[in-house]
Amino acid sequence: MKKLMTIGLIFALAGCSLLMPKKVAAENIGITGSVQSRCTINTDTPGVYGNPNAYTLTTAPASAGQKPIVRVDTTLANAYNAQISYPTSFASSPSLGDTIAWTGAVAVVQTSSSDMSGYQAASTTTGAARTYPLSIAGTTWFEIESQATYGGGQNKAFPGGSYTAHVVAECIAQ
Amino acid sequence: MSTNVLGIPTDEGMDISGVLYNYNVVKNVEDDFVVTVQNKDKEDGYIFQDTEDWSGKHGMRIQKVIPLPYTPIENIGEGSIKTTGTGTVEDATILYMYRWDECRNPQNNENCPGYVPIIPEIPNIDVYDALEDDAVDDATEETDKELYEKEKEEDTENRDKEEEDEDRLELAMAASENALTIANTATQASVLQTMNNATNVNSYYVAQVPGGVYRESISLQGGEVVDNKKAFKSLSQDKLHNTMIREQYQ
């Protein structure tokens, strides 16, 4: 009987162990992916500053400068804004102790569809940046003008050396 | 579509795969203006037509790429930009994209499979066959030998007789020529004699020398001419003599 009780106790313990909750194992499973932008930006023409006088750098062709041209391609309509900014500082230059007055402009010069002819009129400006809603799939060419005048209105001569400035072009998802 | 238009050879094997065009539209926003870029198909209709409706839009520059299925250049006809409405198209450029399959016609390149070397055309020349010439037949016709010999002898006799006559004639002509020559010579001598007789030489006979006598006016000093012995001695040498003789002929 005692043996039977012992066996019964063993089974009871075994049964209890089956009924008791186990320890839970957890694992993080990663999901990867990438988004191919439907908007790309290319430089069609690099810009060049002309130096018509000692205190001015300009991209105007009349002053031996060259306006940069940026091409924006989008394969998806109404998905991106193109935001183009003319420079407001030099990326590299000799040491400049005085202030520089920056002016510039961005304009659509060519499109791949007549339906894009309203892009310029539909654009908005914020400071040096102009934003174009890309409502048509296709290609748009933007031309940027830039001018820097040194001396804070006193027309001081730029120090001799090499000057570089950047136009910033972005595709920003709407 | 010709080589002049494309600037490249348009032999068989070239396919057009697309067209890139751009132009500038000048118009007022409110005007209607439609521009169509197109290329005719040589057989019928158009290879492509791409239309942009600028009505109610700002005029500006447009650039488009029109992909085409590979189209043999032989099928591509006249290209044009057609406009309707109010506005103008300026600074238009149309570029054709192409591929070149050189071996589509194997004769384009001798390295292409199936190339057949070109054999020059040989002109047809009529060869003269003397055996078929009637004149040659007549000339080579067999003749009667005896008759030929007889004719030959007669010919020889005639030729001898003619030669003999010629000799006689030559002799006769030579005799008469000599007579004429002699007669001419005599006549000339007679004429000369007459001319000489006519010449007046009396003036020479009547001329008188003043004083009547030319006397010797040169006198020799010392009265004797002495030989130059040195010269004589020198000339007596053969060498100098020979030199002087030779100098006469130089």
Query: pLDDT tens-digit profile of B67-124?
Result: 999 998 888 889 999 999 999 999 999 999 998 888 888 887 888 888 888 888 888 8
Count, residues in chain B: 250
Using the predicted structure, report yes or no on whether residue A2 has a pLDDT greater than 70: no
* A117/B54 CB distance under 8 A: yes
* Complex ipTM: 0.71
Looking at B27-92, list the stretches that DSSP marks H as alpha helix, in order from N- to C-terminal side. none
CB contact residues (below 8 A), chain A span 89-108, against chain B: 108
Q: Would you give per-residue pLDDT tens digits along chain B (250 residues)? A: 666 666 656 667 888 999 999 999 999 999 999 999 999 998 889 999 999 999 999 999 999 999 999 998 888 889 999 999 999 999 999 999 998 888 888 887 888 888 888 888 888 888 888 888 888 888 877 766 777 677 778 888 888 888 888 888 888 888 777 777 777 777 788 888 877 776 666 666 666 766 667 777 777 777 677 777 776 666 666 777 788 888 888 7
Q: Name the nearest CA neighbour of A160 among A57, A47, A91.
A: A57
- Report the gap between the CA of B117 and the closest CA in chain A (Å): 49
pTM above 0.80, yes or no: no
SS3 B40: strand
Q: Name the nearest CA neighbour of A112 among B183, B201, B61, B80.
A: B61
SS3 B154: helix
Query: What is the pLDDT, as a whole number, of residue B61?
Result: 95
Query: What is the pLDDT, as a whole number, of residue B124?
Result: 86
- Report the gap between the CA of B37 and the closest CA in chain A (Å): 13
Query: What is the pLDDT, as a whole number, of residue A163?
Result: 96
The model's pLDDT over A6-51, given as tens digits with 9 standing for 90+, comes to 544 454 445 545 555 556 788 899 999 988 889 999 999 999 999 9
SS3 A87: coil
Residues of B in contact with A120 (CB under 8 A): 58
C-alpha span between B121 and B104 (Å, rounded): 25
β-bridge mates for residue B83, sequence order: B35
Check if A117 contacts B (Cβ < 8 Å): yes
Report the pLDDT averaged over residues A51-74: 96
Query: What is the pLDDT, as a whole number, of residue A7?
Result: 47
C-alpha span between B115 and B109 (Å, rounded): 7
Query: What is the pLDDT, as a whole number, of residue A13?
Result: 45
CB contact residues (below 8 A), chain B span 4-33, against chain A: 22, 25
- A vs B: CB pairs below 8 A: 37
β-bridge mates for residue B24, sequence order: B61, B90
